[in-house]
Chains A and B, each alone.
Chain A
Amino acid sequence: MEPKKIGTVYSGLSLNQADTAYFDDQGEEISIMPSVNVIKIGGQSIMDRGRSGLYPLLDEIVANKSTHKMILGTGGGTRSRHVYSVAMDLGMPTGVIARLGTLISHQNAKILHMLMCKHGGVFVLRDSFEHLALYLHAGCIPIIEGMPPYEIYERPARGGRIPESRTDTGIYLLGEVLGARSVIFAKDEDGLYTEDPKKNPKAEFIPKISVSELIRRDLNDLVVERKVLELMQNARHVRQLQIINALKPGTLTRALNGEHVGTIIYAD
């Protein structure tokens, strides 16, 4: 095989061309960790419930340890909401607000780590992601903070100042880049409804929906970050994700076994 030469092959080729044919997909993109399941433990929906919501779910995760490889990611919750509201009052831009949000998912990951230590829970910093394979191979459950690392590089949102890429996005993208087997969002609702079921109990449940249909419906409120939908359209590996009610015992196990137990959102 010819060595790659700078100058003869690529020089002068702009990366900003509308048609970057040369850099188009060539061959298959690899799956880095095709057998791992990435699970998001919701912040407001699970963590903020304390013992009553979290303990049974963690027991279920431990029970699945021998059959499934899992990476747990954490959301923020009410403390993120509080810091967002104080920061906005102080006039902070989106990038700073994203930086502040990161710290709460970090904190929740540390909490989860302490609870899971005895079952091989390891808290993995972003800089040590190269160790993920080792931890999984050793039968551990890596725990990561859900926020993506954009911080002050978070793109300003079109409407307000709430960062668009938060923990759903961070955890989904991690699943996608690892080429994970599945991405499961453990929340406290059965899945997606036409409206927020906490505000309107008559909201209609949606068991399965495509990303394009969901974007077309343009719902006023959603159980998952809109950014995830946008990103799923370009996904190479994780073309669907499932939102489940992790407060119902057994639901996570069934989801890990590939059953349809909540709302499946898929890229078409």
Chain B
Amino acid sequence: MPTEPKLPPIESAAPTSPESGAKIVIEQGRPRVHVESPLMMESLIDKQVIDRTYEEHEVAILPDVHLVHLGGQGTIDRGAEVLLPLIDEIVRNRAEHKILIGVGGGIRERHTFALATDLGLPTGALAQLTGVICKQNATMVYYLLARHGGVRIARENFHKLPYYMNAGGIPVIVDMPPYHFWEHMPRVGRIPKHRPDTGSYLISEVYSCRSSIFVKDVDGVFTEDPRVNPRAKLIPRVSASELLAMNLPDLPIERAVLEILLLARNRKEIRIINGLVPGNLTRALNGEAVGTVICQ
């Protein structure tokens, strides 16, 4: 596989845009019309071509923004008792940190999955039904934040995030990713594998966020289920591959997050913290050791 493609003799047409130097190229003998680019005449399935694109520089899009995911079941479903102190903590931190809030689904999401599974709906259908639960949660969090500059942003408006951040807003987004009909079939069962944790993590990866913090109702990842074995130990730091190899029966975060983390370019670690403990979020935003860090 030559790195410089050996081109057959070509006839060049005039550059379409002189600045970029993009050229229309007409292959001789084989009447195909090309546009000159490093990938011209390459198969995009070729492994080496694919590998060549790996090292390329990726732009950091929102590198100073913390992405904070509020778990549905762990924080929002617990109501005022848990959510109001968390909202206060977010507002207290906004002077120092740029914060983007994403919300999960929770128990109504699970109810929907249970009901839809009973009704015989496929995974791609299930994946379309629970976005509205995150929407409900995002709406509630937005109203709690409104007087502090909360703003609820739909996916179509993500490109306006910098504006809302600069205008002093605290954006609230829905974390359920829009896999919809196109959700991948899981190996077992019918529950969509890309759920709000995954959506949140993917946004932090794409936007090269400063951190990806998952606020849940557990201290982090334990060696065993702490409810079953009280002597189970909290794991302060673990790699995604180790964690996957441990094959724990339950995890406080979706498995798809770990799978994607293995391949991350930008956001190479995430943190799970206990939102029931006041001050944890502040410490996590300041980069202090709290909860469990899962790294690449």
User: Is there a direct interface between A and B, measured as CB atoms under 8 Å apart in the complex?
Assistant: yes
> A residues within 8 Å of B by Cβ?
47-48, 50-51, 54-55, 78-79, 82-83, 85-87, 89-92, 96, 99-100, 103-104, 106-107, 110-111, 114-115
Q: Is B40 an interface residue (CB 8 A)?
A: no
**In the complex, chain A residues whose CB is within 8 Å of the CB of B239:** none
> B residues within 8 Å of A by Cβ?
76-77, 79-81, 83-84, 107-108, 111-112, 115-116, 118-121, 125, 128-129, 132-133, 135-136, 139-140, 143-144
Our pick among B76, B84, B129 for the contact of A86 (Cβ within 8 Å) is: B76
B80 in contact with A107 (CB, 8 Å): no
A103 in contact with B143 (CB, 8 Å): no
Roughly how many angstroms separate A55 CA and B132 CA in the complex, as a whole number?
A: 24
Roughly how many angstroms separate A114 CA and B84 CA in the complex, as a whole number?
A: 38
**In the complex, chain A residues whose CB is within 8 Å of the CB of B76:** 86
**In the complex, chain A residues whose CB is within 8 Å of the CB of B80:** 89-91
A106 in contact with B119 (CB, 8 Å): no
B132 in contact with A107 (CB, 8 Å): yes
Roughly how many angstroms separate A82 CA and B132 CA in the complex, as a whole number?
A: 14
| Shortest Cβ gap from A79 to chain B (Å) | 4
Identity of the chain B residue whose Cβ is nearest the Cβ of A95 in the assembled complex: B143
- State whether A82 and B119 are in contact (beta carbons under 8 Å apart), knowing that A90-B83, A96-B140 are contacts in the complex: no
Kindly list the 9 A-B residue pairs having the minimum CB-CB distance in the complex, ordered from nearest: A89-B79, A50-B118, A103-B132, A79-B108, A100-B136, A89-B80, A51-B118, A107-B132, A114-B125
**In the complex, chain B residues whose CB is within 8 Å of the CB of A104:** 108, 132, 136
Roughly how many angstroms separate A48 CA and B116 CA in the complex, as a whole number?
A: 10
Our pick among A55, A79, A90 for the contact of B140 (Cβ within 8 Å) is: A90
- State whether A100 and B139 are in contact (beta carbons under 8 Å apart), knowing that A90-B79, A90-B144, A114-B125 are contacts in the complex: yes
Query: Can you spell out 23 A-B residue pairs with CB atoms less than 8 angstroms apart?
Result: A48-B115, A55-B119, A79-B111, A79-B112, A83-B108, A85-B79, A90-B79, A90-B80, A90-B84, A90-B140, A91-B80, A92-B140, A96-B143, A100-B139, A103-B132, A103-B135, A104-B136, A106-B132, A107-B129, A110-B128, A110-B129, A111-B121, A115-B119
Roughly how many angstroms separate A30 CA and B293 CA in the complex, as a whole number?
A: 66
B79 in contact with A86 (CB, 8 Å): yes
B111 in contact with A78 (CB, 8 Å): yes
Identity of the chain A residue whose Cβ is nearest the Cβ of B134 in the assembled complex: A103
**In the complex, chain A residues whose CB is within 8 Å of the CB of B135:** 103
**In the complex, chain A residues whose CB is within 8 Å of the CB of B112:** 79, 107
**In the complex, chain B residues whose CB is within 8 Å of the CB of A90:** 79-80, 83-84, 140, 144
Roughly how many angstroms separate A104 CA and B109 CA in the complex, as a whole number?
A: 11
Identity of the chain B residue whose Cβ is nearest the Cβ of A87 in the assembled complex: B140
Roughly how many angstroms separate A48 CA and B118 CA in the complex, as a whole number?
A: 10
Roughly how many angstroms separate A78 CA and B116 CA in the complex, as a whole number?
A: 14
Beyond contacts A55-B119, A114-B121: 16 other A-B pairs, Cβ-Cβ < 8 A, are: A50-B115, A78-B111, A82-B77, A85-B79, A86-B77, A90-B79, A90-B140, A90-B144, A92-B140, A96-B140, A103-B133, A107-B129, A111-B119, A111-B121, A111-B125, A111-B129
